[in-house]
Structure 1
Amino acid sequence: MAYISGGLAMLKSVEATLPTSEKKIAAYILSSPESAITMTVKQLADKSQTSTAAVIRLCKSLDLKGFQELKMRIAGDVQKPSSVEYRDIDKGESSHHIIEQMTHNGIQMLRETEEMLRRDDVDQAVQDIYHASSLHIFGVGASGLVAYDAQQKFLRAGRYAFYLQDPHLSYTSLSNAGKNDVALVISFSGETKETIQFLKLAKKNKLRTISITKYGISTISQLADIPLYTSATEEAMIRSAATSSRLAQLHVIDVLFMTYVSNYYDDVIESLDRSRAAIDHKK
């Protein structure tokens, strides 16, 4: 397995929602990550005063392949240089400081998103999109802007991609979708009610489903066949602006699109050339 990290960020993201025994293990690891990476399952269970079964359950709660992957991710975190945490913008700050801080926030969000993305899941999602008759994309609010970007990209790549701003029209379109179609839903929280309804309808119609949510257990990530994750870092006071979280979602779309282009290069290049020619007004 290649160099990976993100174990500590994963634990921080879900710690508050874990059962008591798993929460004790997470708290111990977060307080002593260097020690945890040298332990066996039994040793960690003893140190956290829990059980080996609880350690295994924690790995499942983190959606990891096992304890070894968790240790490797934590080891990667320990080796990384420390970084400044995400911080919101305060009243009266200078434009110079805002530029600096927003740039840092964006970079931090992208780095954490890289840690949350599983390569196997990205490859499977791209394969499903390639074999789909149509791609139905859904998101509301800021996630709707990301859905629109995804539609533009995959249309240019030769996919029939649909994104409709009106949720009711989206449900109507999806109700007539074929079983070979794929649904892609985007929601930072993973709990947006309109998106849950869209996803449930897609499942009812037996479509393959892909979700993009923040890391952690959510209704949407649990319903989707392929859950893809962004950093779970919350944007505090100005959450409605959805700045860094939107950037992370766009990054995942870019990853999906560029992987699609790379995997199916010959087919896609022809489609991109035709798309470019169709909008080129030069004589």
Structure 2
Amino acid sequence: MQVKGTLKMISNLIDELPSSERKIAEYILEHPGKVIKFTTAELAEKSNTSAAAVIRLCKSLGIKRFTELKVRLAGDLANKDDSTGYRDISANESLYSIIEKSRTNSIQSINETAELIQEEMVQKAIHVLEKAKNIHLFGIGASHIISLDAQQKFLRIKKNATAFSDLHLVATLIANSSEDDVVFGISYSGETEEVAKVLKLAKEKGAKTISLTKYGGSKVANITDISLHTSFTREAPFRSGATSSRLAQLFMIDVLFLGLSASRYEDTVTYIDRTRESIHTLKKL
């Protein structure tokens, strides 16, 4: 698979970067075709920085070395499309137009998230979830809907999972947690105070922690052992965190669920069959 998504990663992070790394990032965004032919020293010279700053930028992006950065840039350039970005609705817009905008926004959000996935990090999350005795999911507002979806999926394959939005109730669960448990915090912004507090408490109690936030550094992501990300878009008024970003979060939960299912395939098939049979039995009662 051709790796890509680096230009999106850079544009997402550029405002958070130190000045020297930001200068390099700006140069890459303006001249990606040139950068794939550069050495580290050449990029440093062109951006009026240093080779050390180029290496630091790679680390900030979660990329191990400059050669990998160039491979990813080449993937971006080979997969350019005519996307016009996310589109918001306007007053008295036709239903047909609303359907088309919703479709393209949803597809773009999922595509961008797929491009940003760090497979090594996702694999770590799957391993931790597979070994977990209990999985406690926590999110506020729209993120709570994502946690409920994850709970339903995990329960179907015999993984004990909870999903509560009540801060005190979650704190009670975490008080009795151990290193065999996982606390999974979900926050699109990554700045939800309640989620950050829950994850901090979980770490103090020795539980393993996972977060799902928009791409980039954030209060929530910086706390957890494993940080997972969705694409970051500057949401328009009608396309707030409850729409396209919600679909990206659901996509990530699907990736985790299917990855977990594949790692214990035979057991998963058995559990899914049992739950299906149980539901059919209830319908006959």
Q: TM-score range by the shorter chain?
A: over 0.9
* 1:206-225 alignment runs, 5 A limit: 206-225=206-225
**Match for 1:123: what amino acid?**
Q
Which range moves more in the overlay, 167-176 or 82-91? 82-91
Which whole-Å deviations, capped at 9, do the CAs of 1:59-103 have from their partners, x for residues lacking one? 111122221222111111111132221122222221111111110
Pairing 1:57–2:68 present: no
Match of 1:89 in 2: 89
The total of aligned residue pairs comes to: 282
For residue 34 of structure 1, report the CA deviation from its aligned partner: 0.2
Is the Cα–Cα contact under 8 Å of residues 88 and 239 in structure 2 kept in the other structure? no
Distance 1:154 1:78, change over 3 A: same
Tell me how far apart the structure 1 counterparts of residues 95 and 168 of structure 2 sit (CA, whole Å): 41
Distance 1:223 1:106, change over 3 A: same
Tell me how far apart the structure 2 counterparts of residues 66 and 221 of structure 1 sit (CA, whole Å): 23
Which range moves more in the overlay, 153-162 or 222-231? 222-231
RMSD: 1.3
Match of 1:13 in 2: 12
Tell me how far apart the structure 1 counterparts of residues 65 and 116 of structure 2 sit (CA, whole Å): 15
Pairing 1:41–2:44 present: no
**Match for 1:188: what amino acid?**
Y
Match of 1:157 in 2: 157
Note the residue ranges of structure 2 that are not aligned, 5 or more in a row: none
* 1:93-242 alignment runs, 5 A limit: 93-240=93-240, 242=242
**Secondary structure at the counterpart of residue 238 of structure 1:** helix
Is the Cα–Cα contact under 8 Å of residues 235 and 242 in structure 1 kept in the other structure? no
Match of 1:274 in 2: 274
For residue 238 of structure 1, report the CA deviation from its aligned partner: 2.5
Is the Cα–Cα contact under 8 Å of residues 199 and 223 in structure 2 kept in the other structure? yes
Tell me how far apart the structure 2 counterparts of residues 118 and 241 of structure 1 sit (CA, whole Å): 22
Tell me how far apart the structure 2 counterparts of residues 91 and 57 of structure 1 sit (CA, whole Å): 46
Is the Cα–Cα contact under 8 Å of residues 21 and 57 in structure 2 kept in the other structure? yes
Is the Cα–Cα contact under 8 Å of residues 59 and 66 in structure 1 kept in the other structure? yes
Match of 2:245 in 1: 245
Which range moves more in the overlay, 28-37 or 116-125? 116-125
**Match for 1:155: what amino acid?**
L
With normalisation by structure 1, the TM-score equals 0.96
**Match for 1:35: what amino acid?**
K
Which whole-Å deviations, capped at 9, do the CAs of 1:157-209 have from their partners, x for residues lacking one? 10000111212211111111122101111111111101000110111111111
Note the residue ranges of structure 1 that are not aligned, 5 or more in a row: none
Is the Cα–Cα contact under 8 Å of residues 188 and 241 in structure 2 kept in the other structure? no
For residue 263 of structure 1, report the CA deviation from its aligned partner: 1.2
Which whole-Å deviations, capped at 9, do the CAs of 1:22-55 have from their partners, x for residues lacking one? 1110110000000011111110000000011111
With normalisation by structure 2, the TM-score equals 0.95
For residue 152 of structure 1, report the CA deviation from its aligned partner: 0.4
For residue 135 of structure 1, report the CA deviation from its aligned partner: 0.5
Moved over 4 A (4+): none
**Secondary structure at the counterpart of residue 178 of structure 2:** coil
Which range moves more in the overlay, 248-257 or 226-235? 226-235
For residue 240 of structure 1, report the CA deviation from its aligned partner: 4.2
Distance 1:31 1:95, change over 3 A: same
**Secondary structure at the counterpart of residue 213 of structure 2:** strand
Is the Cα–Cα contact under 8 Å of residues 25 and 48 in structure 1 kept in the other structure? yes
Which range moves more in the overlay, 148-157 or 205-214? 205-214
For residue 252 of structure 1, report the CA deviation from its aligned partner: 0.2
**Match for 1:207: what amino acid?**
A
Is the Cα–Cα contact under 8 Å of residues 126 and 256 in structure 2 kept in the other structure? yes
Tell me how far apart the structure 2 counterparts of residues 99 and 116 of structure 1 sit (CA, whole Å): 26
Tell me how far apart the structure 2 counterparts of residues 270 and 172 of structure 1 sit (CA, whole Å): 33
Tell me how far apart the structure 2 counterparts of residues 241 and 43 of structure 1 sit (CA, whole Å): 40
For residue 241 of structure 1, report the CA deviation from its aligned partner: 5.5
